[in-house]
Chain A
Amino acid sequence: MTTISSMPLLRVEHLTMRFGGLVAVGDLSFDVARGQITALIGPNGAGKTTVFNCITGFYKPTEGRLTLNHDATHHYLLERLPDHDINWKARVARTFQNIRLFQGMTVLENLLVAQHNTLMRASGYSLLGLFNAKSYRDQADLALQKALHWLERIHLLDRADDAAGDLPYGDQRRLEIARAMCTDPLLLCLDEPAAGLNPKESLELNTLLTGIRDEGKTSLLLIEHDMSVVMTISDHVVVLDYGVKIADGTPDAVRNDPKVIAAYLGVDDDEVAEVEAEVGL
């Protein structure tokens, strides 16, 4: 039996996802290490979001195994869990490429909805809550404190009572991350968190994400196109192209990998056959 430290938090093995005849992800294996930021990059249409949807239960993979290791004895096979249990039991949270906040609810309400299961239990599945029992009030107070803590971290405390849909784009992105963090995840999956942010907001995001990593409770897996974010904050980079892994390593190693350069920039015609043979196409 391996020890916890050597066991990755998430192990993706031979993940394949087919949509009819289209192989969106083909035989992909990689690890997400504990306490690190792992980036999943690749050109448009490489299958990154499909991998995310498989991990977070929105798709059931055609083949493969996704193991989330809480510790040496507690493992969850994500492909077998319904999507809400992936968040609640396996403790994997995610954000979306096109922001999915509860726009008509306030910023604070968004963060409280994220603590639904804990509060539901405390409210005795609404029965104790209906009679305003003290045990529920205490738990609700804790939930409020946690929400306010996260609002302070993303600098939105003074907008707690505004509708989430009224916030500027960058704030909505950070709020969605805070909402995911309110579910106390072990693995936080971020789908293009820096998309549409200006350089200053992008920098703020870097600080937020490295801060979450350095607290040591949550590891991160992110899809990103913004190379300045990827290369600055990630500890480990996995590169996908046409649903196949073409590189896996530290940011520096990946940056200089000829296959990655070929996938992003294209190659001269005479090199195509050579590179394709290497990639395995």
Chain B
Amino acid sequence: MSTEMSAPSSPFPLVKSLKQAGFVGMVMFGLCVPIVAFRAEQNMNNQLVLQSRWWLTLVFCVLAMIGSFLFSLYTHQKSNKAHSSAPSTVTKALSALAPRLTPLGFACVIAYPLVMLAINGPGGSIKWIDNFGIQILIYVMLGWGLNIVVGLAGLLDLGYVAFYAVGAYAYALIATKVIPDTFPELGFWSFWICLPISGLLAALWGIILGFPVLRLRGDYLAIVTLAFGEIIRLVLINWVDFSNGYAGLTSIPRPSFFGIPFNASEEGFAAVFDLEFSPIYRTIFLYYVILALSLLTAFVTIRLRRLPIGRAWEALREDEIACRSLGINTTITKLTAFAIGAGFGGFAGCFFAARQGFISPESFVFLESAQILAIVVLGGMGSLFGVVVASIALVGGIEILRELDFLKQVFGEAFDPSQYRMLIFGFAMVLMMLWKPRGLIAHREPSIVYKEKKSIGSDMVQEGHG
């Protein structure tokens, strides 16, 4: 066979793949025996009885085997393709769509609550606007805030949720304790007064955390920020006089429509605008508030990237020593990244407290930090559009699990898909990292263009060393 004529496409190693699939199935079986195969349940006499679930174990093993086989098929096809460093079709499609999607996306997010209202009516649409719209937008905003620290400046921050907590508690404490005692007439305005204060306080905490830890790099920085997140949470749990501990803070004032409260009273929103009272107006208003806050974050990030400070952040991610040789004060530069990222976390926290009306340390566990970081990493470091896609996939995807009632028909009435969210989340992360280790949008857009805009592949861009 002439090697010049035929492309070097090797035949698919069927036996090897089947062997590997069998091996994966065995590993899965070994893992499933202690976790899935047995279940302890209480019977009528309140005794624990062991139930075996071998059929479920079998399903898992077969799924793992099929997955392994498909994966080897995929990698085989990929290696048979010409070794081109060109970005994959998905990346190309996403990056080509991004600019055209922007106006369309704007229209969609602005129309979303109204469309939902029209389809589902005032009662049915709260779930869609609140659980999906607002929830996703909060994570988009947090992702964009953390993106400044992790994606642009390359500082791995595992304790971002601490700033979210600072913002939330700042609003809750000021609005429930300080304002009623000092300026009770400002009651309805408290959200709007506290929003900038929460952001500033969170930024201040960003600087306070930043000063001692910025001499650390990489893994060490990650561990210290992780510890900082836990410290804030433990202080909130244990300093009961200050934060009311585990019980949390209740009856936090909800945001007003610029001074007009959303209630059923004479001065309420519905009465003023001559509408029938319904809680949906507040939800829609909250949706637009978080949308505006997110867009502010995006606007500031886009602008900062084109300013010297943004370029210095990215330069810092690329090479810190070279930065110092060019006269860039790396301490100040890192601190600004920390402070600005933390500030947006604080805004989001303030909004979160106002939306929930109740906060407790339970909302600010490490898992939240991990999820926000996962959104940034999955989206592609430094890419705003990627963060949006990742938030929709991760937050919306988990919410949608609650809606999959038809699965109960398949797996029985006791089956609750949302119980499997961590498993799916983990699988999705592993698959993503195999498929696109640098995130969905794995290339960098230059901040300034002389003649022709060329995006830079992820093989060039550094990840930062802390």
Q: Which residues of A are in contact with B by a Cβ distance under 8 Å?
A: 56-58, 82-88, 93-94, 96, 100-106, 108-109, 112-117, 119-120, 123, 125-126, 129-130, 132, 144, 148, 160-163, 165-166, 179-180, 183
- How far does the alpha carbon of A107 sit from the alpha carbon of B461 in the complex, in Å? 13
Q: Are A117 and B328 in contact (CB under 8 A)?
A: yes
Q: How far is the CB of A185 from chain B (nearest CB, A)?
A: 10
Decide: A148 near B450, CB < 8 A? Known: A84-B328, A113-B328: yes
Residue in contact with A101 in the complex, picked from B322, B324, B329, CB distance below 8 Å:
B322
Q: How far is the CB of A12 from chain B (nearest CB, A)?
A: 19
Instruction: Please indicate the chain A residues that have their CB under 8 angstroms from the CB of B460 in the complex.
Output: 103-104, 163, 165-166
- How far does the alpha carbon of A83 sit from the alpha carbon of B328 in the complex, in Å? 9
Q: Are A83 and B322 in contact (CB under 8 A)?
A: no
Instruction: Please indicate the chain B residues that have their CB under 8 angstroms from the CB of A108 in the complex.
Output: 446, 448, 450
5 smallest A-B Cβ distances: which pairs?
A104-B461, A87-B327, A88-B327, A102-B318, A119-B308
CB-defined A-B contacts under 8 Å, sample of 14: A84-B328, A86-B327, A100-B325, A102-B315, A103-B461, A103-B462, A106-B448, A109-B311, A109-B447, A113-B323, A116-B308, A116-B326, A119-B307, A183-B326
B444 within 8 A of A: yes
Q: Are B451 and A160 in contact (CB under 8 A)?
A: yes
Closest to B382 in A: A104
Q: Are A161 and B326 in contact (CB under 8 A)?
A: no
- How far does the alpha carbon of A114 sit from the alpha carbon of B315 in the complex, in Å? 10
B115 within 8 A of A: no
- How far does the alpha carbon of A116 sit from the alpha carbon of B328 in the complex, in Å? 7
Instruction: Please indicate the chain B residues that have their CB under 8 angstroms from the CB of A93 in the complex.
Output: 325-326
- How far does the alpha carbon of A106 sit from the alpha carbon of B442 in the complex, in Å? 16
Decide: A84 near B319, CB < 8 A? Known: A106-B456, A161-B446, A162-B454: no
How many contacts A-B (CB < 8 Å)?
136
Instruction: Please indicate the chain B residues that have their CB under 8 angstroms from the CB of A179 in the complex.
Output: 326
The 8 A CB mask of B283-316 against A (1 = contact, 0 = none) is 0000000000000000010011001110110110
Q: Are B452 and A126 in contact (CB under 8 A)?
A: no
B86 within 8 A of A: no
Q: Are B325 and A161 in contact (CB under 8 A)?
A: no
Instruction: Please indicate the chain A residues that have their CB under 8 angstroms from the CB of B78 in the complex.
Output: none
Q: Are B454 and A130 in contact (CB under 8 A)?
A: no
Closest to A189 in B: B325
Q: Are B324 and A100 in contact (CB under 8 A)?
A: no
Instruction: Please indicate the chain B residues that have their CB under 8 angstroms from the CB of A183 in the complex.
Output: 326-327
Q: How far is the CB of B313 from chain A (nearest CB, A)?
A: 10
Q: Are A105 and B326 in contact (CB under 8 A)?
A: no
Decide: A129 near B303, CB < 8 A? Known: A106-B456, A112-B311: yes
Instruction: Please indicate the chain B residues that have their CB under 8 angstroms from the CB of A125 in the complex.
Output: 309
B263 within 8 A of A: no
Q: Are B451 and A161 in contact (CB under 8 A)?
A: yes
Residue in contact with A56 in the complex, picked from B300, B325, B444, CB distance below 8 Å:
B325
Q: Which residues of B are in contact with A by a Cβ distance under 8 Å?
A: 300, 303-304, 307-309, 311-312, 314-315, 318-319, 321-330, 336, 444, 446-454, 456-457, 460-462
Instruction: Please indicate the chain B residues that have their CB under 8 angstroms from the CB of A126 in the complex.
Output: 304, 307-309, 336
Q: Are B456 and A163 in contact (CB under 8 A)?
A: yes
- How far does the alpha carbon of A82 sit from the alpha carbon of B454 in the complex, in Å? 37
Instruction: Please indicate the chain B residues that have their CB under 8 angstroms from the CB of A57 in the complex.
Output: 324
Instruction: Please indicate the chain A residues that have their CB under 8 angstroms from the CB of B322 in the complex.
Output: 96, 100-102
Q: How far is the CB of A50 from chain B (nearest CB, A)?
A: 15
Decide: A105 near B308, CB < 8 A? Known: A88-B327, A161-B446: no
Of B321, B325, B330, B453, chain A has the most CB atoms within 10 Å of the CB of B325
Q: How far is the CB of A109 from chain B (nearest CB, A)?
A: 6
Closest to A179 in B: B326
Q: Are B303 and A130 in contact (CB under 8 A)?
A: yes
Q: Are B325 and A102 in contact (CB under 8 A)?
A: no
Q: Are A84 and B448 in contact (CB under 8 A)?
A: no
Instruction: Please indicate the chain A residues that have their CB under 8 angstroms from the CB of B326 in the complex.
Output: 87, 93, 113-114, 116, 179-180, 183
Q: How far is the CB of B1 from chain A (nearest CB, A)?
A: 37
Instruction: Please indicate the chain A residues that have their CB under 8 angstroms from the CB of B303 in the complex.
Output: 129-130, 132
- How far does the alpha carbon of A158 sit from the alpha carbon of B394 in the complex, in Å? 42
Residue in contact with A102 in the complex, picked from B314, B448, B449, CB distance below 8 Å:
B314
Instruction: Please indicate the chain B residues that have their CB under 8 angstroms from the CB of A144 in the complex.
Output: 448
Q: Are B327 and A104 in contact (CB under 8 A)?
A: no
Q: How far is the CB of B459 from chain A (nearest CB, A)?
A: 8
Of B300, B322, B444, B457, chain A has the most CB atoms within 10 Å of the CB of B322
Decide: A161 near B328, CB < 8 A? Known: A105-B315, A120-B308, A129-B303: no
Give 12 new A-B contacts, CB below 8 A, not counting A58-B324, A104-B456. Answer: A56-B325, A84-B324, A84-B327, A88-B327, A96-B322, A102-B319, A103-B318, A106-B448, A126-B304, A161-B446, A161-B450, A161-B454
Q: Are B307 and A129 in contact (CB under 8 A)?
A: yes
- How far does the alpha carbon of A102 sit from the alpha carbon of B303 in the complex, in Å? 21
- How far does the alpha carbon of A227 sit from the alpha carbon of B462 in the complex, in Å? 35
Q: Are B327 and A130 in contact (CB under 8 A)?
A: no
Of B315, B326, B448, B449, chain A has the most CB atoms within 10 Å of the CB of B326
Q: Are B450 and A130 in contact (CB under 8 A)?
A: no
Instruction: Please indicate the chain B residues that have their CB under 8 angstroms from the CB of A162 in the complex.
Output: 454
Residue in contact with B446 in the complex, picked from A84, A86, A105, A148, CB distance below 8 Å:
A105
Decide: A104 near B328, CB < 8 A? Known: A109-B311, A113-B311, A160-B450: no
Q: Are A130 and B304 in contact (CB under 8 A)?
A: yes
- How far does the alpha carbon of A161 sit from the alpha carbon of B448 in the complex, in Å? 8
Q: Are B327 and A112 in contact (CB under 8 A)?
A: no
Of A56, A84, A132, chain B has the most CB atoms within 10 Å of the CB of A84
Q: How far is the CB of B326 from chain A (nearest CB, A)?
A: 5
Q: How far is the CB of B274 from chain A (nearest CB, A)?
A: 39
Decide: A161 near B449, CB < 8 A? Known: A105-B315, A130-B300: yes
